[in-house]
Structures are given as C-alpha cells and as structure tokens.
Structure 1
Amino acid sequence: MAGPVKIALIGMGWWGQKMLAVLSSAPDDITVVRAVEPNLETVRDLCAAKGIPLSADYADALNDPNVEAVVLATPHSLHTDQIKAAVAAGKHIFCEKPLALTKAEAEQSVALCANAGLVLGMGHERRFEPPIADLLAKADAGVLGRIHQIESNFSHDKFVSLDRDNWRLKADQAPAGGMTATGIHLLDLSVRLLGPAESVLCICEQLSSDLPQGDTVAAYVKFKGGGTSYVSASLANPFISRFAVFGSKGWIDVRDKAHVEAPDGWIVTSAMAGGPIETIEIAPAEPVKDNLVSFARAVRGTETYPVTGEHLVNNIALLEAVFKSALSGAIEIVA
C-alpha cells in the first residue's frame, strides 16, 4: 500500500492527546482515522473538531477495515491482551511504554507480531531525540570506545497533582515509583548500548509525597557483557532529564531543557580522549512525532524500525527484575 498509514488512537488521555497533536505535522506518513476512549465526554469536542470518529469500544477500531494500525496509549496491564487482539485483527501496533510488566508477556507480544508479519512500534521516543540518536550512532561506530558506565535521571512532578485514583499512581499498574513512567526510557537506552542485563539492585522510597508506589527510585544494573548503568527517577521533584555515557575514548552528557511533552532543545557536554570538554546546544525537535513516523515508514516497508524485538524483551526482563528488587531490597538476577 501507499500513502499515509491509517491509525486508530486507543486511549485519549494525556499522552493520546499529545500524539494526536504532533501527528498534524506528519500528514504524508500517518493519519488518524479513528479514536477510542472509554470516557467519551473528555474528548468528544476535540475529536469532533478534527473530524475523527470517536467511540468507547476497542473492537470498533479492530473491526474497521480503514484502520491499518492501532496506537495504544492505555494502562500498562492492558497492553498484552490488546496486542493479541490487534494481531488477530491483522493490525500493526504501536504501543506506549512499557510493552508489558513481565518478560513472558513481552516475549508473547513480540512473537505474535513477528509471526504475523506485523510491525510492533514502541513509545521509546528518547531514541529519536537528536542528541541521543547522535550518541547512539557514535557508540555504534566505536567513537566512545568501550562503554564503561551509564548515569541517568529522568524526573518530574507532573503526577503529584493527579487524583490518587488515577491508574498511573496504582502500585499494581506502575510499581517501583517512576520506573514505568520515566525510568523505563533509561533502561531501554541502557539495554540498547550494553545489551542484556545480568542483575539489578533497586531502592524505591516514599520520601516527600503520598504517592502509593513511592516517589523516588534508583536502580544499579550490571550487564552480562560488562558495564553498569545507574538509573534514577523521582515523581516528586522538578523536571530533570540527564543521560550520560562514559567510554574508554570519550564521554557524552545529554540534558533536556524541557519535558518531551513540550521539547525545548538539549544541552550536550562531551569530551574525547586528549581533547577539551565542550558544550553545545541542540535546537528543539519533536521526537514523539519522529518515532511514530518511523513506525509508519516501517509499516510501508521504506524504513527499518530501530527498536527491535530483542531490545523490547531484554528491556522488560530488566524491568521485571527491577520490580522484584524494589520489593526485596536485594540484588535480583535478570531472567
């Protein structure tokens, strides 16, 4: 097929509306032809203004022959069943992170999509931030040498004001503090750079809020091929996003100037062996859109989607071990 990929947005909350907004600037690659939201009144006017059919039932999107792919901006625990249903309906899938809460479920979803010849995209837009994409390319090319360590923090206080009944604050939906909200991106980048994880020690605490799953989390990861990653996240301090990689030939530290909801560019500090420490600023970009466009182009067969099934499974295997360690307070082996 040719032309823009026709998608149904499933879940029209905070992030579903963010994706709808950015896709208005990618009409050649992807177009929204349907929306699904259980709380119809919250987005009825928005969808009507854009001429997008809206309903409350996921099956409406799966049964619509005009829909080629579904974009899931839904609670984490629903992803596995929703992906299974989409595969049965022959729809490509873009899923917000995390893909699943257990390695077994991640393996199931990846295998179902692969066996059906369907593209499985993932809401890891951090990979599409220009300075992160550049960092990954340099690491792949050996510019940084042997990767030794990763240090990272992705924190914000956007959830402190949420109603305590919100699913994003449920300990069973989003365990280990901010790990499923923000830390998962840092785990993904760590796995992308260092491969499968071997073990993890995670500490999750409730320090300055009443958030039921805790507000401050830190995980120290050891990788099977060597190297370590320190991933930290708070749901109760002002925004910060930092990702730093240290190698034998050089290091790069990337700091976001604003949350990806409204990106404002990046500050990148780096140094190569024998050279000075340099700092540059990178102009704003829209990685959420770029991720979705890459997914659409993979559906059309014109681009290879960079988040592989192996990456997805390795990331969720690590996430599951993080959950276990947060409860036990001990080092847990990654399955």
Structure 2
Amino acid sequence: MTIREEKPVIAALVGLGWWGRKMATLVNAGGSGMHFVHGVDPNPEAAGFAAEMGLRYSTDMADALEDPAVEAVVLATPHSLHREQIARAVGAGKHVFCEKPLDLTKAGAEASVALCREAGLVLGMGHERRFETPIASILEAASSGKLGRLLQIEANFSHDKFLALDPSNWRLRAEQAPAGGMTATGIHLTDLAVKLMGPAKDVRVVCENLASSIPQGDTMSAHVRFSGGGTAYISATLATPFISRFAVFGTEGWIDVRDKAHVEAPDGWVVTEGWKNKPITVRELPPAEPVRDNLKAFAAAVRGDADYPISGTDLINNIALLEAIVRSANTGLLEPI
C-alpha cells in the first residue's frame, strides 16, 4: 500500500522576535506540516536569524504576500497590528495563523473572524494550551460529561520573564499589553475557560503594581461569572517565578494540571485528579510540544484534512471577556461582557 505524503503548507513568518524564533525553530525541525520560506521583521538585526533558518528575509510583509507560493501567513507580532495584518493577508488570499490575543476588542475579533470565514480561509490561533496532553484530556472529560456539571475553574499562569526586558519593549506598554499579564499569559486561561463554560456574563478585576515599574501592573486577578452559571478565578502575574496551573471542578470530579516548565521549553506535567467515591491520584506526564501540534492542526485544516479545533465563536467569546477584563482593571468595577 502506498502512503500519500502530504505536501507541507508553504508559509511566511511575520515577526522574528522571541516567540517567532520559537516557532521557526520548531517548524524547521519538522513534524508540523508546515514549511517557512519567508521571514519578515522590521528590525534588520533579524536578517541573521532568517538566514540561519534558510528564510528569505524582508522588512515588509508585502513581499511575502506577493509570493504566489506562500499559502499561509503566521503572525508573531504585537496585538495592535493583528487586525490590519489579517486583513492584508486575507486580501492576498492567504490563510492566517495569529499569535494571541487575536485583538483587544470584541468588534475587532468579530471583523477578523468574519473576513477569514467569508473568504474561505483558515484562521488559526496561538492557543497552544489546548494541545497540551492533560488539557486536551480535561476538554474531553468535560465534553463527554465525565466531569458532570462544571462548577468552577481556578487558573494561574504567571512568570517574571518580563522584568528583564528593555523598558522600550512593546510588551511593557500598557496600551499594547494592558491588565498585568492578561495578554501574555492570562489570555490562554480565559480561552480554556470560555471553551469549557461558555460565554462570560461579567468580571471583576484587581490589577496592582506591587513589585515592579511595569506600566500595566504586575499583579492581576480576575473573577469571572458565566452566562450559563459557574465561575472562574484567573491570575496572571508578571513578578513571580514561573507557575502554570489549571484546575476544573465538576460534580463528578476535578482535575488539577501543573506545568513543570514554561511552554517555550516543555518538561511535562503533574496531574492530580479526584473522582467521586475514588481516592485522589497524582501522576506525571512526559513532555510534548503543543506549539508544534497547534501549527500541525492549522496545516491540516488548510489542507482540508480536518476542521481547525478552535472555532471563531470561541475566539470572539475570549476577546469579549478580555475587553471586559481590561475595563475592570481600570475601573475596579464589575464589568458586563
């Protein structure tokens, strides 16, 4: 029997900073179903990295969009650029994979989702947490009913990596990355929360600057209520050593997942579970590479082999919650979604 070998999706990578380099290195290693041919970054210092990866380098995204061989564009760029860049990519007939968050407003998210849908193009999203082995198991346990009625989520994704950044870095600009660590890490937690619990109803946030001069604040916590009932507590701090924990509680059981290391260099997970009338169990899972697996799912969707698992509705619900979190971080009030 002859096994058909799928042609990799030919793509351009826009943004060759910290995370763009992570993705380029993964794709270059194989197994993602993608192949980068262009590297785009306005900083000429990125040309050296592009050469190392075997990419044609440009400071202008237009060069990649004009290449008929390029099927998709991967955006590892500041959030404020996403809407315009997605529109340009769609105008050129390219599929889009965008790093999180998709936008800072619900209206912007709706516009980008609609553009891609109406053009028949795949919109992928850098929510790699969904592809982590134990998180995928949580999503399955919830959808199958194994967890029973979902009641509450507790989640924390915090680190102190940004304390070493140059103050001019866009990640330290309150207008680019508001509400503490929300756009850096918390957005992953809200993505999982709305996937599990549905659209949010309202949110109250405390965002303070307790240990740094980070303009958007370094300590953020949000309490979310959902339209269908249930709550989530989400923390995204920028001044504490790395921690990533996601726990969901249902009437039939609960699952607590803790990462051993940041996703940039995965080292596996510790999973604690408690099920009705059963003893609590603790197990360790080996490392996986969810960033690669997300890109692989995107490539499969581009090829028409499978639907991309993060829906446009999920994307819009997440950004609607993010927008309310940013408002509440500024007002301290209970903000409706």
TM interval, short-chain normalised: over 0.9
Structure 1 Cα separation of the partners of residues 30 and 320 of structure 2 = 33
Corresponding residue of 1:278: 281
Q: Does 1:26 align with 2:30?
A: yes
Show structure 1 runs of 5+ residues with no match: none
Q: Does 1:249 align with 2:252?
A: yes
CA positional deviation for 1:27: 4.9
> Do 2:10 and 2:72's aligned partners in 1 also have CA atoms closer than 8 Å?
yes
| TM-score between both structures, scaled by the size of structure 1 | 0.98
Q: Does 1:131 align with 2:134?
A: yes
> How many residues are aligned here?
333
Q: Secondary structure at the match of 1:160?
A: helix
Structure 2 Cα separation of the partners of residues 58 and 201 of structure 1 = 39
Structure 1 Cα separation of the partners of residues 319 and 31 of structure 2 = 32
More divergent stretch after superposition (20-29 vs 308-317)? 20-29
Corresponding residue of 2:214: 211
Q: Percent identity?
A: 63
CA positional deviation for 1:183: 0.2
Corresponding residue of 2:188: 185
Q: Does 1:17 align with 2:21?
A: yes
CA positional deviation for 1:28: 6.7
Change (3 A) 1:27 1:148: closer
1:110-155, Cα deviation, whole Å (9 max, x unpaired): 0000000000000000000000001101111001000000000000
Structure 1 Cα separation of the partners of residues 334 and 311 of structure 2 = 27
Aligned pair partner of 1:82 in 66, 70, 85:
85
CA positional deviation for 1:330: 0.4
Corresponding residue of 2:272: 269
Corresponding residue of 2:176: 173
Structure 1 Cα separation of the partners of residues 310 and 241 of structure 2 = 29
Show structure 2 runs of 5+ residues with no match: none
Structure 1 Cα separation of the partners of residues 281 and 256 of structure 2 = 10
User: Which residue identity is paired with 2:141?
Assistant: K
Structure 1 Cα separation of the partners of residues 322 and 195 of structure 2 = 14
1:242-279, Cα deviation, whole Å (9 max, x unpaired): 00000000000000000000000000000110000000
Corresponding residue of 1:46: 49
> Do 1:26 and 1:293's aligned partners in 2 also have CA atoms closer than 8 Å?
no
Corresponding residue of 1:308: 311
Corresponding residue of 2:9: 5
| TM-score between both structures, scaled by the size of structure 2 | 0.97
Structure 1 Cα separation of the partners of residues 331 and 89 of structure 2 = 36
- Alignment RMSD: 1.0
CA positional deviation for 1:44: 1.9
CA positional deviation for 1:48: 1.4
Q: Secondary structure at the match of 1:202?
A: strand
